[in-house]
Each structure stands twice: as structure tokens, then as C-alpha cells.
Chains A and B, each alone.
Chain A
């Protein structure tokens, strides 16, 4: 064990030149005008559902979403029947049968999105050595996550889809500039609210919005409560200040 960690530990130790730690060059994500920005921000349910559509149509083939239960999708405006119908398209492990053999069954509302691979080894073997990360928390696990996801997916050079000899793709927003994932979005994959084909930019936004929701599903509760709490505190603090002035008036 110790031997395995030693190089990392040494690299971390400040005694060594720390330049080895510096991450590769990476472009700053472009800022988008998200519906949840600002004090009154909320998610756009239609956008989240479009994102879900693209996610289940494409991303799910390689990426997990393990912190999301199918029941959670009711929060973004799916009816219980719709969420149930979506769940049934996935097979999950069931109880052992009477002979003790493993079984599978269609997923139900209380199940989470199943991982696309049986284990990390399979994921690695099928993806040229790179393990596709679980996306549940991606929007919070990268600096400026929502913009990062949208910028990465819509990068123009990336979407030309010319791999290097190693099978990697140029992407200015990915740390190091080379990403193993082939450009996943193409015209015709997703549709806009009016039914027209969505552009890659539009799909990138919808996916980023959906993944922001999966990372922070309580955002609307939080912002809604914050407004009430702060208004209350402003009044309370005002009263406390006036009381303080009055009590101290003769000191």
C-alpha cells in the first residue's frame, strides 16, 4: 500500500518543485445566462426535461447518474406514470430466485439510475482505458460547473470530431486539452420546445441544465427560503438596532 502512495505523497510534499502539480492549460468556461441564476432563479422544467431526453438518449450509454432515483424525476415535471414508464426501460438487479440465482427486474420509481457498466474494469475496457465518470455531481465537481459542461460539449473544434492518433479529441475546456470522449451531440438528437431540431449549442445548454439539477436538486427550496430568511433578518436586525440606540441613549 505504502509503495503505491509514495510517489503521490512525494509529489505532494512541498520539498519537491511543485510545478509538477500544475494542471494543463484549460480555457475558462463561457458564462451562459441560466434560468437559475440570481436571487429569484428557478429551473426551467421544460429545459430540464429536454436535458433528460438527451441524457437518456445518449449520455446514459456510458455515464452513470447514481444519485438520482426515478422518483426524483417527478420534481422536474414528469408525471408518476411517465417516470415509471422510463424506469421500466432499465433492468436492475432483483432478489435471488428460489434456487439462489441472481435475477433482474425492470427498475421501479424507488430505484436509482443503474450504472451502465458492471464495474470499473468493464468501463475501462470498453472505453479505451478512460472511465466515464458518474455525472450526478459533475456540475458541482468542476469549477464553474454548469458553464463548464455547456462549454465543453459545444466546443467548435471538439465537435468537428477529428481524433488524435491516440483516439483522443481536442477540447479547449477539458483539463489538458485532450478528452477521451468522442463528441456525443449531433443534430437530430434533441428537439427544441417548438419541435425543431436543436443545435449543438442548445443541446449543450439543456444537458448542462439537467446536470445542474441532478447536482443541486434543492436549489429552488434553498433560494426561496433564503429570500424569506434574509427579509426576516433585515427587519429583526433593524428592530435590534433601534432598541440598541434607545437602551444606550443615556450612556
Chain B
């Protein structure tokens, strides 16, 4: 890259628009903590998933017809008669699930290593906004094939807005563009489903900007002391991320080629029928924990508020977590509660997939209560009462503790 700048015309261009220098600065020279583990791979994987979704989505848009009478058939035409249409469409539908898988793992990594804490609060907020945009995009995308789950999922979710007092019903009708989920709804969802991914791209740029401004967190969760704590992003993390991409693609391909409908719902291969309600209406798996929280409150408005707050409170997480230690590695008590929270979310997800009846009702309510107790009560208390283990002096030190290793920054490692 740098050698390219020796070429006159390249230097001339770069002097006027420093594309090359910026790329060099942000994608190659960017100083990354030397101790990032594989949990840090999920950010780049999420970026890859976004690109895969946009590319396959644009191709699908060339063949898809956003009309209630034709949408379902146009998807089947893609599956049968468009060259490699089945491949593009299965990549897109499974890609949505894998996008959520890597983003959730990315979020759980942040929760474990305290990546949301100062000075990265804004970085964390932008990440949450990206997650919300993803949810909106995924929800509207699921409506497009116009199968039974598409239609009834859209009906149930848009109806949530009717819980708002006074203006609820007008808002729902405004969202629908009519008095029920119908062609205008499908058209606007299609338009927004095409738009939102590019909003996400913009947010990702901000996310990376905030990241590069304050630099990456790391598994020790301690601040960097000097250049000896860093290694250049390229080639160290480019190759590490590339290896992660390989592993990701293998798992993705296994689902894509051998179980492409595993994460979908059979009912969505039935054309939408406004007169026939499916026996169980379940959202896609990545919404299940939130769906369980929604249903846990025996009041429509209350359920909607609880579901909104389940993500809303995460914006306050940097202050709800009162501990000044970032990484769970040095937080003996938090570590266990982190595990409990993961289990709780797993339970919520399972409850969300079950009909809201019998024991599932109280299990869902208990799990919902615990979710909020974890963030609103336990986290602040743990921060006050927990005695964290002593933190290492620097990132470079524990890494090099095994003995003198030739390499960047080894000479700086003395006190």
C-alpha cells in the first residue's frame, strides 16, 4: 500500500482524496491490542454477513414481485426457474439467521469483557441501534415471501402498536396503509427492507469510527499503556479474521446445503391466507426471547413496554454495571451471574417457541423477571460488593510473561 504512494498519480489523487491513506491507516496500521482472542472475530463476521445479505438481497430484488397476488409465486419462481435462484434465496434466508448468530455472539462478548464501559459507551449505543435496525429489517424481510407466517407475523407485530393509548389504532392503520395487513403494507415493507440495510452500513461506519477513536477493548479489559500493547491490524488480525471467516463459512454452508429450512417455519411455504390463522404463530428464532418477554406480561401495553425495555435498558448498561473492572476474567462473582443470565436468555428463547399455556406461562414470567432483575438490581449490587481480582499492569506484560519473545514491543517490557 505505502509503495503505491510512490507512484506520482496515486500520490496526486491521495493528496486530494486520501482514500489510500485512510485504508492504510484504518485497515492495516490500526493498532489493535495484541491479546485479542477469538471472541473478537465476531465483529468482522457480522460485517461479512451484512455484505452477504446486501449482495444476495439485491439479486433477489431483481426477481421478486412485491404484490400480494404474486409475491409467493415469484419466490417459488426464484427457487425453481431462476439460475441458481435456490442458492441465492437460501443464502439470504439462512444468512439472516447467521447474521443474528454472529451479532448475538458479538454482543455476548461485549457483555463478558465489559466492552460497553467507559470510554466506549457511544460505541455500545451505536451497536444497539444497529441491532434494532437489524431486527426491523429481518422482520420486514420475513414478510416479503407472503407465506402464512409472513402475513400473521406481520399482523401480530404491527398490532402491538395498537396498545398505545388513544393514538394506537390510527398508528397501526398508518403503518398498514389500510385497515389490515395488505398490499400497501407489503409494498412499504419491501421499500424499507431495501433501505434499512444501507442505514445499517452507515451505522457500521460510525461504529468503526467510534471503535478506532477509542481503540478496541481486550480480554484483560485494561487500558493500554503504550505502543508495546499493540500490534498492527494487518497482517495479524486480517489473517486471524480470515481464518474465522473460513470456520464461519463451513458452518454456514452445512446449514445452507444440507438443512436450508431447518431454521425456517413450514407454515411459510403455505401462501398467506387472511382468513385462516395458523395454529401457532411463532417469530423467527432470533426474536423468541423478546417474544417470551412480550407474552409474559398479562397486559398488552405492559407486554409491549417490557419488550421495548428489554433492549432499552441495555442503553443504560454502562451505568447499571457499577464495577470499574471491565473484564469478567477478574470478576469472580459477576462471572457466575453472567452465566445465569445466558441460561435465563436460553430459557426465554425456549419459552418463546412454546404456546403460552400451562407451565410455560409462569416459567416465562419468572425468566422475564430475572432478566430485568439481572440488569437493574444484580449488576449494580455486584459492582459494589464484589472484590475483583488484581488487574495485570499492562497488556504486554501477561502476554510476554512466559519469557522473552522476539517481536514488536518486547524491548519495552521492563517495569
Contact = CB atoms under 8 A, between A and B. Distances in A.
B104 interface: no
B159 interface: yes
B76 A67 contact: yes
Nearest to A175: B279
Contact of B357 (A19, A67, A233, A240): A19
A141 B269 contact: yes
A24 to B, nearest CB: 8
A250 B405 contact: yes
10 smallest A-B Cβ distances: which pairs?
Answer: A226-B257, A237-B246, A23-B279, A141-B269, A18-B356, A14-B295, A240-B243, A218-B86, A19-B357, A250-B407
Nearest to A12: B156
Interface string B311-333: 00000000000000000000000
A1 B182 CA distance: 11
A240 B266 contact: no
Chain A interface, DSSP helix/strand/loop, else mixed: helix
Contact of B279 (A22, A67, A136, A251): A22
Given A141-B267, A141-B269, A230 B254 contact: yes
Interface stretch (A2-10, A152-160, A185-193, A198-206): A2-10
Contacts of A143: 266
Interface in A15-69: 15, 17-19, 21-23, 39, 67
Q: Could you say which of A17, A72, A217, A251 has the most chain B C-beta atoms within 10 Å of its C-beta?
A: A251
Contact of A1 (B180, B243, B254, B300): B180
Given A140-B261, A229-B257, A244-B239, A8 B277 contact: yes
A13 interface: yes
B355 A18 contact: yes
B406 interface: yes
Contacts of B243: 237, 240-241, 243-244
Contact of B247 (A13, A22, A215, A237): A237
B240 A15 contact: no
A217 to B, nearest CB: 6
A233 B253 contact: yes
Given A233-B253, A236-B246, A22 B355 contact: yes
B303 interface: yes
Given A14-B294, A14-B356, A237-B250, A218 B80 contact: yes
B347 interface: no
B270 interface: yes
Contact of A19 (B159, B355, B407): B355
Contacts of A175: 279
B34 interface: yes
Contact of A141 (B270, B274, B303): B270
A16 B274 CA distance: 20
Interface residues of B, number: 59
Contact of B246 (A8, A17, A133, A240): A240
Given A12-B159, A13-B300, A15-B300, A21 B280 contact: yes
A234 interface: yes
Interface of A: 1-2, 4-5, 8-9, 11-15, 17-19, 21-23, 39, 67, 72, 133, 136-137, 140-143, 145, 175, 215, 217-218, 221-223, 225-227, 229-230, 233-234, 236-237, 240-241, 243-244, 247-248, 250-251
Nearest to B35: A251
B266 A217 contact: no
A12 B277 contact: yes
Given A12-B152, A230-B253, A240-B239, A23 B300 contact: no
Contact of B87 (A1, A12, A14, A225): A225
Contact of A233 (B34, B250, B299): B250
Contacts of A241: 243, 246
A17 B357 contact: yes
Contacts of A145: 266
A251 B407 contact: yes
Given A21-B280, A141-B269, A222-B260, 12 more contacts: A1-B179, A9-B155, A12-B155, A14-B295, A14-B303, A19-B358, A22-B279, A137-B76, A137-B269, A223-B258, A226-B258, A237-B250
Contacts of A225: 87, 257
A218 B300 contact: no
B355 A21 contact: yes
Contacts of B357: 17-19, 22
A192 B275 CA distance: 42
A237 B253 CA distance: 13
A140 B269 contact: yes
Contacts of A8: 155, 277
B403 interface: no
B312 to A, nearest CB: 19
A223 B87 CA distance: 11
B298 interface: yes
A222 B86 contact: yes
A142 B405 CA distance: 60
Contacts of A137: 76, 269-270
Interface string B338-364: 000000000000000001111000000
B230 to A, nearest CB: 11
23 contacts: A4-B274, A9-B155, A12-B152, A12-B156, A14-B303, A17-B357, A19-B355, A21-B279, A141-B266, A141-B267, A141-B270, A215-B269, A218-B79, A223-B257, A227-B257, A229-B257, A230-B253, A237-B249, A243-B243, A244-B243, A247-B239, A248-B236, A248-B240
A251 B405 contact: yes
A9 B176 CA distance: 14
A247 B235 contact: yes
Nearest to A23: B279
Contacts of B379: none
Interface string B397-415: 0010000011110000000
